[in-house]
Amino acid sequence: MVYAVSVRKQKNTSSPPSGQNATKVGRQSYTPISDALSQPNTLADNEFSDGLVQFNLVGLLSRSFKRKRRNDGVQFSQIVMTLLVWPILKVSSIHCFCQELGQYLRREGKRPERPEDIIYDFWACEDINWRSWACNVSRQVGAQIDIGSPDKSAFVVDDTLKGRRGKKVEGTSRHYDHNRGITIAGHQCLELGLAGENGFLPVDRQLFMGNKGAVDKDNFKDNRSAAAQDMKRARDENKHQMLARMLKAAIKNGHKAAYLIGDAWFGTKANIALAVDHDLKAIFQMKRGKLNYRVNDILYSAAQLHALHARRMKATSAKARFKMARIEAELNLETRPGAEPVWQSVVLILSAPNDDNKENWVLFLSTDTAASSGQILEIYALRWSVEVYFKELKQNFGLLAEQSGKYQVAYASVHLAAVRYLVIYAAMLRNGSLSFGQLRDLQSGKLLALSYAGLLWGLFRAIISGVFDQFEEIIGAGQLKELGEAIDGAVERFLCEALQITPSQVKAIARAEADGRL
Structure confidence at residue 491 (pLDDT): 57
**C-alpha span between 155 and 258 (Å, rounded):** 8
Cβ neighbours, 10 Å, residue 518:
18
Q: Average pLDDT across each block of 10 residues of the chain; the chain has 518 residues. List them in order.
A: 29 34 35 50 65 85 69 65 78 58 52 66 87 95 88 95 88 86 91 90 96 89 92 95 97 96 93 97 91 96 93 75 88 92 96 73 94 88 84 87 90 95 82 42 28 35 49 64 66 59 64 64
Which amino acid would we find at residue 48?
F
Instruction: Return the pLDDT at 262.
Output: 95
Report pLDDT for 503: 63
- Tell me, what DSSP letter sits at residue 312? G
Asked if 421 contacts 33 with a C-beta cutoff of 8 angstroms, the reply is yes
- The Cα–Cα gap between 162 and 184 comes to 9
Domain-wise residue ranges, the chain: 32-41+432-509
For the residues of 161-206, what is the DSSP string, one character each? EEE---TT-TT-EEEEETTTTEEEEEEEEEEEEEEETTEEEEEEEE
Q: How far apart are CA 444 and CA 22, in angstroms?
A: 6
Integer Cα distance of 326 and 320 in angstroms: 16
**Residue 294 main-chain phi, psi, to 5 deg:** -95, 120
3-state SS of the chain: helix, strand, coil percent to 5?
45, 20, 40
Q: Whose CA is closest to 421, among 48, 110, 68, 42?
A: 48
Q: Quick one: which H or E segment has residue 378? A: helix 373-380
